[in-house]
Amino acid sequence: MNSTKTITVNASKSYDILVGKNLITDLGEIFIKRFDKCKVAIITDDIVDKLYSAVVERTLLEKGFSVVKFVFNNGEKSKNFDTYSQIVNFLSENELTRTDLVVALGGGVVGDIAGFSASTYLRGVKYVQIPTTLLSQIDSSVGGKTAIDLEAGKNLVGAFCQPELVVCDVQLLCSLDQKVLEDGFGEGAKYALLDKKVFDLIKDKDFSMQEFVYLCIDYKRQIVEADEFEKGNRKLLNLGHTIAHAIEKLSSFNLSHGKAVAIGLDFVLDSAFGKGRITKEQYEQIKSVLLNITKSVDKSLCPFSKKQICECAVFDKKRSGDYISVVNFYGVGDCRIEKIKIDNLLGQFI
Q: Give the footprint of ligand GLY on this chain (CB under 6 A).
A: 139, 143, 145, 234, 237
Give the alpha-carbon dihedral of 315, 222, 275, 282, to 10 degrees: -130
Rounded least distance, CB 241 to ligand GLY, Å? 8
Rounded least distance, CB 70 to ligand GLY, Å? 24
Rounded least distance, CB 243 to ligand GLY, Å? 15
Supply the DSSP symbol for 159: E
Rounded least distance, CB 284 to ligand GLY, Å? 28
Report the C-alpha gap between 329 and 51 in whole angstroms: 40
Identity of the residue, 105 or 237, whose beta carbon is nearer to ligand GLY in the bound complex: 237
Identity of the residue, 139 or 266, whose beta carbon is nearer to ligand GLY in the bound complex: 139
Identity of the residue, 28 or 158, whose beta carbon is nearer to ligand GLY in the bound complex: 158
Non-local (6+) Cβ contacts of 211 within 8 A are 201
Identity of the residue, 234 or 299, whose beta carbon is nearer to ligand GLY in the bound complex: 234
Identity of the residue, 100 or 139, whose beta carbon is nearer to ligand GLY in the bound complex: 139
For 49: left if phi > 0, alpha if psi spans -120 to 50, otherwise beta; the answer is alpha
Beta-strand ranges (E) seen in 181-322 are: 319-320
Identity of the residue, 145 or 259, whose beta carbon is nearer to ligand GLY in the bound complex: 145
Identity of the residue, 79 or 234, whose beta carbon is nearer to ligand GLY in the bound complex: 234
Positive or negative torsion for Cα 188, 193, 199, 205? positive
Rounded least distance, CB 144 to ligand GLY, Å? 8
Report the C-alpha gap between 167 and 136 in whole angstroms: 11
Positive or negative torsion for Cα 28, 33, 35, 37? positive
Report the C-alpha gap between 305 and 219 in whole angstroms: 33
If one counts every other C-beta atom within 10 angstroms of the C-beta of residue 301, the result is 15
Rounded least distance, CB 236 to ligand GLY, Å? 9
Identity of the residue, 229 or 315, whose beta carbon is nearer to ligand GLY in the bound complex: 229
Rounded least distance, CB 186 to ligand GLY, Å? 13
List phi, psi (to 5°) of 156.
-85, -15
Nearest residue to ligand GLY, using CB? 237
Report the C-alpha gap between 98 and 88 in whole angstroms: 13
Rounded least distance, CB 237 to ligand GLY, Å? 4
Number of continuous H segments (helices) and E segments (strands) in the chain: 14, 12
* Closest C-alpha among 95, 97, 101 to residue 36: 101
Supply the DSSP symbol for 37: S
Residue type, 28: G
Report the C-alpha gap between 140 and 44 in whole angstroms: 15
